[in-house]
Structure 1
Amino acid sequence: MSRYASNSNIFDQEEVLREDHHPDELPERSEELDQLHMALSPAARGVGANNVFLYGKAGQGKTAAAKKELSELQYHAEQESDHLDLTALYISCESDDISTSFRAASRIYMELTGNDRPTGYSTDAVVDMMYDAMNEIGGTIIIVLDEIDSLGTDDRILYSLPRARSQGYVNDNVYPSVIGISNDLQWRDNLSPKVKSSLYDDSVLFSPYNAEQLRQILRRRGAKGFRSAELVKIDENTSVDESNEKVVTIDNSGDEYVFRSGVLPTDAIPLVSAIAAQDKGDARQAIKYLRKAGEIADRAGDTTVEDTHVRAAESQVEKETVREAMLEMTTQAQLTLAAITVVELAGDTPARTKPIYGVYKSIAEEVGSDKLVQRRMRDHLKELDMQGIIDARKKTGGSVGGPAYHFELQVERDIVKDVLKNVTRFASIDFDSIGSDDQPGLERYT
């Protein structure tokens, strides 16, 4: 019998702990769902949905909320309404490599018609084809553009779609609208005023989850994903041990459940929740920590997920996150990360841009790479901040100068160091010597 034939001691429905699982209920996002509901409600009244912008950091339920509300609206159109003719499209701009208005219009055209991507046409021609497809379908057409910031500064399609009816691009019986989703909190601010004024009738901010909200999410997932775990409805026949058993809500009905598990001891979920809440308040990250902890316990042949498994999962996930980010970074982003890592190892962070730039130039020269001007290198520092790899905070300059950004690593330095040591271009840099008592390594870069 092969090792694959044995059953897991830990998992039951492991798929609910995967990133692509979207829950049916989002009780922690009831307020945001209400706002999104109000934006989409005009469609049910026959006048088309509002354009709406969902924004917040990754893992805050934006995509799940959009899909849930659209699913409910689709149910209403098919089962309850005699006049709502709804077509809803979901497009991931990053996954589908949509970085221009041409690509966006092409993708929408493909989704509406089922045809192949149009080639050999101008942007104007493809936009016309997109509107022709809308006229052919008719009714309410809601287009979800997830990771809409992938379009960058090419906002032509975002200017065109909201004005489609007023400009006569579509027939009177066509009501197109856009739900834009972005993890980049500053992207919307950089849009041209004419786009901002028309594209977003409504906007909904998804703030980071707190530790209690993450505990609720993990208990609901854990009850399905792990063996010997369940949610038991609390009624007059349910005896609750308040010292060990935690109450969970699964929807907005007001009913309460108690979480019980032989695989997940009392401390495992609170520890995962605390770790994730202190970092980004990211539910996706918290679920990944819990799944990884289960995998580590399962691999060890253990029958419960303990604190040691959670801590090992935290370290492993952080290493994976940094490693994945490093693989996708440009050379200049890698050089910038290497520079701040050297400064961090030397104990000189939080640091302003200038000393980091000095180290950056030395490393770039050593590895034979082009050197950016200081302003452009600072842009890479801010991008690393957005990725959660470093932390950028604006502080006052004291007696000299005004407020300025100070930068430091946000993930463990040993994790970043281990990853950088395995990047070929940094083979000549002895990260282990930097920060030692005599600091021979640091002297090369200052």
Structure 2
Amino acid sequence: MGSPYSTTSEVFAAGGEGYLKEDHTPTTLPERREEILKLRRALKPAARGVGAENAFLSGKAGQGKTAAAKAELGELESFAAAEDLELTAVHFSCEGISSSYTLACGLCERLCDTNPNGHSMQKVLDHLWRAMNEVGGTIIVVLDEIDNLGTDDKILYSLPRARDKDYVNDDVYPSIIGISNDLQWRDNLDPAAKDSLYDDSIFFAPYDANDLRDILSRRASKAFRDTNLVYEDAEGEVFTVTVDLDGDENDSLDAAFESRSVDRTACSLVGIDSAVISDDVIPMCAAYAAQDKGSARQAIKYLRKAAAIAESEDSATVEGRHVRQAKDESERELIIEGMEQLTTQGHLALAAVTILEMANEPDLRTRKVYNVYRSLTNDIDADQLAQRRMRDHLVELDMLSIIRARKSASGSVGGEAYTFELRVEPSMALDVLEAVSRFDGVDFNTMTKNWLRDQ
């Protein structure tokens, strides 16, 4: 019997799968031209040796904020190297960082390979200023997921004002590019920090279906076998472009247009010509993602997963049915992740509904769910909420598409009455609940049998 693994793929080009991975950063972002021009305007002073402006990039996840920052800073770094300018760009993810202290320590380590953790905040900042003086020139700090800092904005106030306060030498120009998915986060900052931090605020609106189709087409031309981009010139003539996987994407496209003696900016991307991707695949992935979050990351995930499903079936082509299956699996994964990340009270509310569903109990009203909830809180020695507060957690589960909450005209005392049911299979909810350490020792099957016995 042969191995189920292979060094080649019927669907993916050699090395092509990497272009559908989340860590791939594209060099071409035409859908974000206006946003990049605004960012470029903030960065341009650095090319003249007087430091960049501070900027704040905001928008939902998957809108190209990080990719735009990396691409434009890459352009600036190339220019600085050619012109022999002192410029340092530090990309720093704030995931898991919740304080200015931890961030300052991390920046010290990135700039001078020394982490001053354990010293006072003031000594850590002094260490950071010395590190910046040693590096010299323009220093642009990109803080991705900056909202993780919450309201601890000491470093966000101090770093942009380091020159004004004489914390750094006259030849040092520090600035910050903040990136956040939380559109409201900066509104909660101290006014002084907010004023000093953001010279320019750039909003990345959700992609529409056409944007996502073009993004997917460019990724597909590099990810899949026998797949080329299709363009239309100003005269309406349609032609294909083959992207060189080994070279820079922009250089490859420029060369293709130059060989035809056509102006690239006057041509529009129509789609792809592919031997392995059916015509409906990319429009479906784009439409599904646009209807949900307008996220390029989500659209690319649908395409990558659909191709993997097709390959697992030994199908020579990726088809619409693979996209539908990919969407269903992705939604299932998101719901499981949502269940895993619930608070203890959320897990208790979910467990109560799950037990009743396993018992095939009809008409799951709040009182009935609450009775099971109280039994569970006693079993695991958890805080017991009032019925109304427990119901609030059930309504939150409805918002997460984990359960369905139906509201009727009135309850027994004139208030709102609800009935509840799982939107997921009880077995799926049970798998998640049994993995929660707080429920160690709880036998959900026994609880279900006991409920049936006592009715």
TM-score range, shorter chain: 0.7 to 0.9
Cα deviation per residue 1:75-127 (whole Å; 9 max; x = unaligned)? 11111x35x31100001110xx3221111011110111123x22331111111
Q: Residue type of the partner of 1:126?
A: V
Residue 285 (1) aligns with residue 298 (2) = yes
**By how many angstroms is 1:331 displaced?**
2.8
Residue 422 (1) aligns with residue 421 (2) = no
Deviates further, 168-177 or 416-425: 416-425
Cα deviation per residue 1:333-373 (whole Å; 9 max; x = unaligned)? 54466689999999999x9xx99996996486265353486
The alpha-carbon distance between structure 1 residues 141 and 290, as it changes in their structure 2 partners (threshold 3 A), is same
Cα deviation per residue 1:271-317 (whole Å; 9 max; x = unaligned)? 11111111111110110111100000000011111122111111211
Instruction: Work out the CA distance in 1 between the residues paired with 2:361 and 2:156.
Output: 47
Structure 1's unaligned 5+ residue stretches are: 242-248, 392-396, 398-405, 434-439
Residue 5 (1) aligns with residue 15 (2) = no
Tell me which residue corresponds to 2:65.
Answer: 62
Structure 2's unaligned 5+ residue stretches are: 241-249, 255-263, 404-408, 410-417
Residue 253 (1) aligns with residue 252 (2) = no
The alpha-carbon distance between structure 1 residues 368 and 211, as it changes in their structure 2 partners (threshold 3 A), is same
Instruction: Work out the CA distance in 1 between the residues paired with 2:47 and 2:384.
Output: 53
Residue 296 (1) aligns with residue 309 (2) = yes
Tell me which residue corresponds to 1:403.
Answer: none
**By how many angstroms is 1:224 displaced?**
0.9
Task: Answer with 1 or 2: which has the greater Rg.
Answer: 2
**By how many angstroms is 1:146 displaced?**
0.5
Q: Which of 184, 189, 199 is the aligned partner of 1:186? A: 184
Instruction: Work out the CA distance in 2 between the residues paired with 1:372 and 1:164.
Output: 50
Q: Is the 8 A contact 2:335 2:402 kept in 1?
A: no
The percent of aligned pairs where both chains have the same amino acid is 50
Q: Is the 8 A contact 1:49 1:142 kept in 2?
A: yes
Tell me which residue corresponds to 2:80.
Answer: 77
The alpha-carbon distance between structure 1 residues 110 and 323, as it changes in their structure 2 partners (threshold 3 A), is same
Partner secondary structure for residue 424 of structure 2: helix
Q: Is the 8 A contact 1:322 1:419 kept in 2?
A: no
Q: Residue type of the partner of 1:44?
A: A
Q: Is the 8 A contact 2:401 2:423 kept in 1?
A: no
Instruction: Work out the CA distance in 2 between the residues paired with 1:197 and 1:383.
Output: 36
Partner secondary structure for residue 53 of structure 1: strand
Instruction: Work out the CA distance in 2 between the residues paired with 1:140 and 1:356.
Output: 64
Aligned residues: 408
Q: Which of 203, 206, 211 is the aligned partner of 1:205? A: 203
**By how many angstroms is 1:219 displaced?**
0.9
**By how many angstroms is 1:158 displaced?**
0.9
Q: Is the 8 A contact 1:364 1:371 kept in 2?
A: no
Q: Which of 370, 377, 387 is the aligned partner of 1:365? A: 377
Tell me which residue corresponds to 1:274.
Answer: 287
**By how many angstroms is 1:218 displaced?**
0.8
Tell me which residue corresponds to 1:32.
Answer: 35
Q: Is the 8 A contact 1:51 1:200 kept in 2?
A: yes
Partner secondary structure for residue 50 of structure 2: coil
Q: Which of 31, 44, 49 is the aligned partner of 1:46? A: 49
Question: What's the C-alpha RMSD, in Å, of the aligned pairs?
Answer: 4.2
Instruction: Work out the CA distance in 1 between the residues paired with 2:363 and 2:402.
Output: 14
Q: Which of 215, 227, 230 is the aligned partner of 1:229? A: 227
Instruction: Work out the CA distance in 2 between the residues paired with 1:343 and 1:187.
Output: 40
Tell me which residue corresponds to 1:152.
Answer: 150
The alpha-carbon distance between structure 1 residues 224 and 78, as it changes in their structure 2 partners (threshold 3 A), is same
Tell me which residue corresponds to 1:23.
Answer: 26
Instruction: Work out the CA distance in 1 between the residues paired with 2:80 and 2:381.
Output: 58
Cα deviation per residue 1:171-219 (whole Å; 9 max; x = unaligned)? 1111100111111122112112221111111111111111111111111
The alpha-carbon distance between structure 1 residues 342 and 62, as it changes in their structure 2 partners (threshold 3 A), is farther
Cα deviation per residue 1:240-263 (whole Å; 9 max; x = unaligned)? 79xxxxxxx979733334510121
The alpha-carbon distance between structure 1 residues 416 and 276, as it changes in their structure 2 partners (threshold 3 A), is farther
The alpha-carbon distance between structure 1 residues 263 and 205, as it changes in their structure 2 partners (threshold 3 A), is same
Instruction: Work out the CA distance in 2 between the residues paired with 1:109 and 1:18.
Output: 30
Residue 106 (1) aligns with residue 108 (2) = no
Tell me which residue corresponds to 2:260.
Answer: none
Instruction: Work out the CA distance in 2 between the residues paired with 1:101 and 1:429.
Output: 44
**By how many angstroms is 1:137 displaced?**
1.2
Residue 93 (1) aligns with residue 94 (2) = yes
Cα deviation per residue 1:32-56 (whole Å; 9 max; x = unaligned)? 1111111111212222111111111
The alpha-carbon distance between structure 1 residues 302 and 91, as it changes in their structure 2 partners (threshold 3 A), is same
Partner secondary structure for residue 5 of structure 2: helix
**By how many angstroms is 1:376 displaced?**
9.1
The alpha-carbon distance between structure 1 residues 284 and 373, as it changes in their structure 2 partners (threshold 3 A), is same
Instruction: Work out the CA distance in 2 between the residues paired with 1:260 and 1:303.
Output: 15
1:298-337 superposed matches below 5 A = 298-335=311-348
TM-score (ref. length: structure 1): 0.78
Instruction: Work out the CA distance in 1 between the residues paired with 2:170 and 2:265.
Output: 40
Q: Residue type of the partner of 1:185?
A: L
Cα deviation per residue 1:154-179 (whole Å; 9 max; x = unaligned)? 11111111111111111111110011
Q: Is the 8 A contact 2:354 2:430 kept in 1?
A: no
The alpha-carbon distance between structure 1 residues 237 and 314, as it changes in their structure 2 partners (threshold 3 A), is closer
